[in-house]
Chain A
Amino acid sequence: MKLAVVVNGSPTASQAANTALRYVEAALELGHQVPRVFFYGESVHTANMLTTPPQDESNLTLRWQALSQQHEIELIVCIAAAVRRGVMDDREAGRYEHPAGNLADGFELSGLGQLVDATLNADRVITFGGQQ
Protein backbone atom coordinates (compact mmCIF):
# COMPACT_ATOMS: atom_id res chain seq x y z
CA MET A 1 0.00 0.00 0.00
CA LYS A 2 1.17 3.53 -0.78
CA LEU A 3 1.02 5.70 2.33
CA ALA A 4 1.21 9.47 2.72
CA VAL A 5 2.36 10.53 6.16
CA VAL A 6 1.52 13.99 7.53
CA VAL A 7 3.06 15.17 10.79
CA ASN A 8 1.46 18.12 12.57
CA GLY A 9 2.64 17.78 16.14
CA SER A 10 5.67 19.37 17.78
CA PRO A 11 8.77 17.18 18.22
CA THR A 12 9.20 18.38 21.81
CA ALA A 13 5.68 19.15 23.08
CA SER A 14 4.08 16.06 21.59
CA GLN A 15 4.88 12.47 20.75
CA ALA A 16 3.79 12.98 17.15
CA ALA A 17 7.12 13.14 15.29
CA ASN A 18 8.50 10.19 17.23
CA THR A 19 5.37 8.07 16.70
CA ALA A 20 5.31 9.02 13.01
CA LEU A 21 8.93 7.92 12.61
CA ARG A 22 8.30 4.59 14.28
CA TYR A 23 5.15 4.16 12.20
CA VAL A 24 7.07 4.73 8.96
CA GLU A 25 9.78 2.27 10.03
CA ALA A 26 7.13 -0.36 10.76
CA ALA A 27 5.22 0.31 7.53
CA LEU A 28 8.38 -0.06 5.42
CA GLU A 29 9.24 -3.27 7.22
CA LEU A 30 5.83 -4.65 6.24
CA GLY A 31 6.50 -3.80 2.59
CA HIS A 32 4.40 -0.64 2.27
CA GLN A 33 5.67 2.38 0.35
CA VAL A 34 6.12 5.78 1.97
CA PRO A 35 7.36 8.07 -0.80
CA ARG A 36 6.90 11.32 1.09
CA VAL A 37 6.47 12.66 4.62
CA PHE A 38 4.92 16.13 4.92
CA PHE A 39 5.81 18.22 7.97
CA TYR A 40 3.21 20.86 8.80
CA GLY A 41 2.34 23.02 11.79
CA GLU A 42 4.50 22.60 14.89
CA SER A 43 6.25 19.58 13.38
CA VAL A 44 8.45 21.88 11.25
CA HIS A 45 10.76 22.19 14.27
CA THR A 46 11.80 18.60 13.51
CA ALA A 47 13.74 20.03 10.55
CA ASN A 48 15.73 22.52 12.65
CA MET A 49 19.35 21.40 12.42
CA LEU A 50 20.25 23.43 15.51
CA THR A 51 18.12 21.16 17.69
CA THR A 52 20.59 19.67 20.14
CA PRO A 53 19.11 17.24 22.64
CA PRO A 54 21.45 15.80 25.32
CA GLN A 55 23.57 12.97 23.96
CA ASP A 56 21.72 10.27 25.85
CA GLU A 57 18.41 11.33 24.29
CA SER A 58 17.07 10.43 20.88
CA ASN A 59 17.74 13.00 18.12
CA LEU A 60 14.64 12.93 15.92
CA THR A 61 16.16 15.13 13.23
CA LEU A 62 19.06 12.71 12.71
CA ARG A 63 16.75 9.69 12.79
CA TRP A 64 14.49 11.15 10.09
CA GLN A 65 17.55 12.00 7.99
CA ALA A 66 18.88 8.45 8.27
CA LEU A 67 15.53 6.88 7.45
CA SER A 68 15.04 9.19 4.48
CA GLN A 69 18.49 8.36 3.07
CA GLN A 70 18.09 4.66 3.56
CA HIS A 71 14.66 4.43 1.91
CA GLU A 72 14.67 7.47 -0.40
CA ILE A 73 11.77 9.17 1.38
CA GLU A 74 11.12 12.84 0.58
CA LEU A 75 10.97 14.93 3.74
CA ILE A 76 8.92 17.95 2.72
CA VAL A 77 8.52 20.85 5.15
CA CYS A 78 5.73 23.36 4.54
CA ILE A 79 7.49 26.61 3.71
CA ALA A 80 4.82 28.91 5.19
CA ALA A 81 4.59 26.95 8.45
CA ALA A 82 8.39 26.75 8.69
CA VAL A 83 9.25 30.38 7.99
CA ARG A 84 6.60 31.51 10.48
CA ARG A 85 8.41 29.42 13.13
CA GLY A 86 11.97 30.37 12.23
CA VAL A 87 12.93 27.25 10.30
CA MET A 88 14.35 28.04 6.86
CA ASP A 89 17.01 27.19 4.34
CA ASP A 90 19.79 29.64 3.46
CA ARG A 91 17.82 31.02 0.54
CA GLU A 92 14.79 31.95 2.65
CA ALA A 93 17.05 33.23 5.43
CA GLY A 94 18.69 35.53 2.88
CA ARG A 95 15.33 36.71 1.62
CA TYR A 96 14.33 37.74 5.15
CA GLU A 97 17.80 39.15 5.91
CA HIS A 98 18.59 36.62 8.64
CA PRO A 99 22.27 35.72 9.19
CA ALA A 100 21.88 32.01 8.41
CA GLY A 101 19.42 29.25 7.61
CA ASN A 102 18.87 26.25 9.85
CA LEU A 103 17.10 23.67 7.69
CA ALA A 104 18.66 20.25 8.27
CA ASP A 105 20.07 18.33 5.29
CA GLY A 106 17.61 15.92 3.77
CA PHE A 107 14.61 18.16 4.46
CA GLU A 108 13.18 20.34 1.72
CA LEU A 109 10.97 23.42 1.95
CA SER A 110 7.97 23.38 -0.36
CA GLY A 111 4.35 24.43 -0.58
CA LEU A 112 1.05 22.99 0.59
CA GLY A 113 0.50 21.69 -2.93
CA GLN A 114 2.86 18.86 -1.98
CA LEU A 115 0.47 17.88 0.81
CA VAL A 116 -2.47 17.77 -1.59
CA ASP A 117 -0.39 15.91 -4.20
CA ALA A 118 0.80 13.33 -1.66
CA THR A 119 -2.78 12.89 -0.43
CA LEU A 120 -4.23 12.35 -3.89
CA ASN A 121 -1.53 9.86 -4.88
CA ALA A 122 -1.74 7.74 -1.74
CA ASP A 123 -3.96 4.81 -0.85
CA ARG A 124 -4.10 6.10 2.72
CA VAL A 125 -3.16 9.34 4.48
CA ILE A 126 -2.00 9.01 8.06
CA THR A 127 -1.85 12.14 10.23
CA PHE A 128 0.14 12.48 13.43
CA GLY A 129 -0.49 15.06 16.14
CA GLY A 130 -2.57 18.14 16.41
CA GLN A 131 -2.56 21.31 18.37
CA GLN A 132 0.86 20.95 19.98
Chain B
Amino acid sequence: MSQTATILLVLRHSPYSSQIAREALDAALTAAAFEVPISLLFINDGVYQLLAKQQPDQLQAKNLSKTLSALAMYDIERLYTASHCLELRGLSNDQLIVDVETLDDSGVSALFHQHQHILSF
Protein backbone atom coordinates (compact mmCIF):
# COMPACT_ATOMS: atom_id res chain seq x y z
CA MET B 1 0.00 0.00 0.00
CA SER B 2 1.51 3.30 -1.07
CA GLN B 3 -0.35 5.50 1.38
CA THR B 4 -0.88 4.84 5.07
CA ALA B 5 -4.04 2.81 5.56
CA THR B 6 -6.70 4.79 7.36
CA ILE B 7 -10.12 3.65 8.51
CA LEU B 8 -13.24 5.77 8.91
CA LEU B 9 -15.85 4.21 11.18
CA VAL B 10 -19.35 5.55 10.58
CA LEU B 11 -21.67 5.23 13.58
CA ARG B 12 -25.29 5.71 12.56
CA HIS B 13 -27.40 4.25 15.36
CA SER B 14 -28.51 5.27 18.84
CA PRO B 15 -26.57 3.83 21.78
CA TYR B 16 -29.04 1.51 23.52
CA SER B 17 -31.65 0.42 20.96
CA SER B 18 -29.44 -2.49 19.88
CA GLN B 19 -25.91 -3.83 20.34
CA ILE B 20 -24.56 -2.19 17.20
CA ALA B 21 -23.18 0.95 18.87
CA ARG B 22 -21.21 -1.07 21.41
CA GLU B 23 -19.96 -3.49 18.77
CA ALA B 24 -18.88 -0.62 16.52
CA LEU B 25 -16.79 0.85 19.36
CA ASP B 26 -15.27 -2.60 19.97
CA ALA B 27 -14.23 -2.64 16.31
CA ALA B 28 -12.72 0.84 16.71
CA LEU B 29 -10.67 -0.26 19.73
CA THR B 30 -9.47 -3.37 17.88
CA ALA B 31 -8.36 -1.29 14.89
CA ALA B 32 -6.56 1.06 17.26
CA ALA B 33 -4.75 -1.94 18.77
CA PHE B 34 -3.44 -2.64 15.25
CA GLU B 35 -2.10 0.93 15.27
CA VAL B 36 -4.23 1.86 12.29
CA PRO B 37 -5.08 5.58 12.13
CA ILE B 38 -8.80 5.68 12.75
CA SER B 39 -11.50 8.35 12.69
CA LEU B 40 -15.07 8.14 13.96
CA LEU B 41 -18.01 9.89 12.30
CA PHE B 42 -21.28 10.05 14.26
CA ILE B 43 -24.27 10.69 12.02
CA ASN B 44 -28.04 10.13 12.03
CA ASP B 45 -29.18 8.74 15.41
CA GLY B 46 -25.51 7.94 16.10
CA VAL B 47 -25.19 11.49 17.48
CA TYR B 48 -27.13 10.33 20.56
CA GLN B 49 -24.08 8.21 21.47
CA LEU B 50 -22.22 11.49 22.07
CA LEU B 51 -24.60 12.90 24.68
CA ALA B 52 -23.28 13.62 28.15
CA LYS B 53 -25.38 12.67 31.18
CA GLN B 54 -26.51 9.31 29.82
CA GLN B 55 -28.23 7.15 32.46
CA PRO B 56 -28.33 3.70 30.88
CA ASP B 57 -28.34 2.05 34.31
CA GLN B 58 -32.08 2.67 34.25
CA LEU B 59 -32.17 0.24 31.30
CA GLN B 60 -29.77 -2.18 32.98
CA ALA B 61 -27.31 -1.29 30.22
CA LYS B 62 -23.62 -0.46 30.45
CA ASN B 63 -22.70 3.18 29.88
CA LEU B 64 -21.28 3.50 26.36
CA SER B 65 -20.22 7.10 26.81
CA LYS B 66 -17.54 5.94 29.24
CA THR B 67 -15.90 4.13 26.33
CA LEU B 68 -16.09 7.35 24.31
CA SER B 69 -14.30 9.25 27.06
CA ALA B 70 -11.57 6.60 27.03
CA LEU B 71 -10.94 6.69 23.25
CA ALA B 72 -8.12 9.20 23.58
CA MET B 73 -6.18 6.65 25.64
CA TYR B 74 -6.31 4.39 22.57
CA ASP B 75 -5.07 7.22 20.33
CA ILE B 76 -8.46 7.63 18.74
CA GLU B 77 -8.68 11.40 18.74
CA ARG B 78 -10.35 12.26 15.46
CA LEU B 79 -14.08 12.39 16.20
CA TYR B 80 -16.55 14.05 13.86
CA THR B 81 -20.24 14.71 13.56
CA ALA B 82 -22.46 16.48 11.05
CA SER B 83 -24.05 19.80 12.00
CA HIS B 84 -27.37 18.99 10.32
CA CYS B 85 -27.68 15.72 12.30
CA LEU B 86 -27.31 17.68 15.55
CA GLU B 87 -29.67 20.46 14.44
CA LEU B 88 -32.34 18.03 13.29
CA ARG B 89 -32.44 16.56 16.81
CA GLY B 90 -32.26 19.89 18.66
CA LEU B 91 -28.79 19.13 20.01
CA SER B 92 -25.77 21.38 20.34
CA ASN B 93 -22.06 20.77 20.82
CA ASP B 94 -22.08 21.78 24.50
CA GLN B 95 -24.33 18.80 25.32
CA LEU B 96 -21.73 16.31 24.12
CA ILE B 97 -19.41 14.29 26.35
CA VAL B 98 -16.31 14.48 24.13
CA ASP B 99 -14.77 17.05 21.81
CA VAL B 100 -16.00 16.41 18.29
CA GLU B 101 -15.46 18.42 15.17
CA THR B 102 -18.76 19.44 13.59
CA LEU B 103 -18.76 19.25 9.79
CA ASP B 104 -21.10 20.60 7.16
CA ASP B 105 -22.19 18.36 4.26
CA SER B 106 -19.14 19.11 2.13
CA GLY B 107 -16.93 18.43 5.16
CA VAL B 108 -18.56 15.01 5.62
CA SER B 109 -18.06 14.28 1.94
CA ALA B 110 -14.38 15.27 2.18
CA LEU B 111 -13.95 13.04 5.24
CA PHE B 112 -15.13 9.99 3.29
CA HIS B 113 -12.65 10.81 0.52
CA GLN B 114 -9.75 11.28 2.96
CA HIS B 115 -9.94 7.70 4.24
CA GLN B 116 -8.86 4.58 2.45
CA HIS B 117 -11.36 2.25 4.14
CA ILE B 118 -14.85 2.82 5.49
CA LEU B 119 -16.64 0.60 8.00
CA SER B 120 -20.28 1.44 8.46
CA PHE B 121 -22.22 0.55 11.61
Contacts and interface: CB of A to CB of B under 8 A. Distances in A.
Interface in A24-49: 40-42
B18 interface: yes
A6 B119 contact: yes
Contact of B5 (A40, A115, A120, A130): A120
Contact of B31 (A40, A84, A116, A122): A116
Interface residues of B, number: 22
Contacts of A41: 19-20, 23, 121
Contacts of B27: 40, 112, 115-116
A119 B23 CA distance: 16
Contacts of A81: 19, 23
A40 B19 CA distance: 11
B121 A130 contact: yes
Interface in B49-70: none
Given A127-B120, A131-B13, A131-B18, A115 B30 contact: yes
A83 interface: no
Interface residues of A, number: 23
Contacts of A40: 23, 27
Given A80-B26, A112-B26, A120 B17 contact: no
Interface in B1-43: 1, 5, 7, 12-13, 17-20, 23, 26-27, 30-31, 33-34, 36
A120 B30 CA distance: 13
B111 interface: no
A48 B73 CA distance: 37
A84 B34 contact: no
A85 to B, nearest CB: 9
A120 B121 CA distance: 17
A41 B27 CA distance: 11
Contacts of B31: 116, 119
B26 A127 contact: no
Contacts of B121: 8, 41, 127, 130
B117 interface: yes
22 contacts: A8-B121, A40-B23, A40-B27, A41-B19, A41-B20, A42-B20, A78-B23, A80-B26, A81-B23, A112-B26, A112-B27, A112-B30, A113-B34, A116-B27, A116-B31, A116-B34, A119-B31, A120-B5, A125-B119, A130-B120, A131-B13, A132-B18
